[in-house]
Chains A and B, each alone.
Chain A
Amino acid sequence: MAWRWFLDAIRADSARRRREDLAESEPAPGPAPAVDDTLQLYFLCAHPSLTPSSAVALTLRAVGGLTTRQIARAYLVPEATMAQRISRAERTVAGVGLSPAGAKPDASGGPKRRGDVATVLHVLYLVFNKGYSGDVDLAAEAIRLTRQLAASVDHPEVAGLLALMLLHHARRASRTRPDGSLVPLAEQDRGRWDTTSIAEGVQILQTALTRDQLGEFQAQAAIAALHADAQRAEETDWVQIVEWYDELARLTDSPVVRLNRAVAVGEADGPHAGLAALAELDAAIRDSSTKPHPFPRREAVAAHHPRTRRRPGHGRPPLRRGRPPRPQPRRTHPPHPPGRPPQYPPTPLTTPRPRPSPRPLGASQDQLAALSRPGARGVVPPSGRLTETPKSPSRVSLLGL
């Protein structure tokens, strides 16, 4: 009973606070400020002293101009809680202040700028991943904010994130069934992908990649672009995707990335190699004593490979470069509607550099093992890719852009 008494008290209290907060702290959302000020706001709202959730809330409120109520609904928390989260965040950054009015944002970043591009991008990425919730389309909002940021600051990772968002957003209509359940990528109706978004995303990505400052968002966007480039699931260039996962693993060293890489390795080089990559990941996680959570999707990946193996036509060593047609397509996709661009992006994803000749069938065990070593690039040098990657790609230090 004590629990209920206390709850009644809380409810009365929060109702009162909500009314006060609404009265006090809710100016009508105005038009977005001018670009230069907006850039300063982005940095302020991504101040390192803020927790990610506070930075997200403050960005949506201050930069995006959403109301506290909209943000609270999108994140499924009471409005009073969100109002507190935002006002705490405001207090935290109150002492930081904006750069002097009229200060030109420049790509090198000034000492006055608080926060940095990396944290801003992380915040926008979190907003995007929240997707559609409440009465606000947070994915579209994230794209809008990232596009605005890209217009203000010239940085390949900003472009990379924008490309990544566009490429993922392009697939949204095909990602869920009417009942809300998720459709795996291989089973999605590719005719419903938004080719305009894909073309724009690829174009932005290709421009960014020519700058030769690889970062994790560009690498993720490259993977998304390669998926988007395949008109049928079985045309997916898994070999190149594995190479981009290698880059991504170098940049982030995240177990999730390596798990996804194991999936890609399995698709590119067969279930044996995929399971080997998974075993390597298991060892890495076992060695880490700081893992408090179980790793649920690992079992799904492990289960995926044996299933792949049982499919007809997968018994032979599939170590082959290029795009060999799968002997047994998983399913038949409906023909693409007429008028659909036969191939996007406008320029081919692969550079004109000729692909190396196919790897020989029947790779040795050593070669298989080599595939699963960290940073392994396959038994032959990487094939042509979205752009020439330098021998040792510069690790973009986003801090202090």
Chain B
Amino acid sequence: MAKYLLLKHYRGAPAPVNNVPMDQWTPAEVSAHVQFMHDFAARLEETGEYVDGQGLPPEGTWVRYDGEGRPPVTDGPFAETKDLIAGWMVIDVDSYERALELAGELSAAPGAGGKPIHEWLELRPFLSAPPTITE
């Protein structure tokens, strides 16, 4: 069993096939998209493979340490973001192949015209400690 992150980029990923931004979708298309995601996660929960999912707003603030006793330095938000992460889902599956399969399904969420977006999702395995057996 291994955990994988399905990372959804708004920008930074290659262009999807059905490349119509969501703000140009009809309400029905948005609803269909939401329903798809809902069903997908519900199904994963039933198979015991769902771990977490979070959405992120476009706005964010950069923060860094600025020395002992000083408040952290902040910057932003910036209007232009090269690589905006829109959200993620974490799954816990038995194999890499299964993670690929699920990412492929999630990428088929419907967009404009009710057709699959074919959006790119980045699939990243969680780092885990090596088994003690091989030390």
Contacts and interface: CB of A to CB of B under 8 A. Distances in A.
- Same assembly: yes
Interface of A: 1-7, 9-10, 13-14, 17, 51-54, 56-57, 75-78, 80-82, 84-86, 88, 129, 131, 164, 168, 175, 182, 184-185, 220, 256, 260, 292-293, 297
B86 A81 contact: no
Contacts of A184: 135
A88 B45 CA distance: 11
Interface string B39-75: 0011001111111111101000000000000000000
Contact of A85 (B8, B42, B48, B54): B48
Given A81-B92, A175-B135, A293-B96, A10 B51 contact: no
B4 to A, nearest CB: 12
B102 interface: no
Contacts of A2: 22, 30, 33-34, 37
14 contacts: A3-B55, A4-B57, A5-B34, A7-B87, A53-B92, A81-B48, A84-B45, A84-B47, A85-B47, A129-B131, A175-B135, A184-B135, A220-B133, A293-B96
Contacts of A75: 1, 92
B38 A6 contact: yes
Which 8 interchain pairs have the tightest Cβ spacing? A85-B48, A4-B55, A53-B1, A3-B55, A6-B37, A3-B87, A84-B48, A129-B131
B133 A54 contact: no
Contacts of A292: 96-97
A131 B132 contact: yes
A3 B134 CA distance: 41
Tell which of B8, B22, B41, B45 has the most Cβ of chain A within 10 Å.
B45
A76 B53 contact: no
A246 to B, nearest CB: 16
A54 B1 CA distance: 9
Given A3-B8, A52-B94, 19 more contacts: A1-B55, A2-B22, A2-B30, A3-B37, A3-B55, A5-B34, A6-B41, A9-B34, A53-B48, A56-B1, A75-B1, A76-B51, A77-B48, A81-B45, A88-B48, A129-B133, A131-B132, A164-B133, A175-B135
A80 B45 contact: yes
A168 B97 CA distance: 31
Contact of B135 (A86, A185, A293): A185
A86 B45 CA distance: 12
Contacts of A7: 53-55, 87
A50 B99 CA distance: 18
A168 B133 contact: yes
A76 B91 CA distance: 11
Given A3-B8, A129-B132, A77 B34 contact: no
Nearest to B52: A78
A234 B130 CA distance: 24
A175 B51 contact: no
A223 to B, nearest CB: 9
Contacts of B41: 6, 10
B134 A256 contact: yes
Nearest to B96: A292
B129 interface: yes
A129 B87 CA distance: 31
Contacts of A182: 129, 135
A88 B47 contact: yes
B77 to A, nearest CB: 17
A10 B134 contact: no
A169 to B, nearest CB: 9
A52 B38 CA distance: 27
Given A53-B92, A81-B51, A9 B30 contact: no
Interface string B89-117: 00010101100000000000000000000
B132 A175 contact: yes
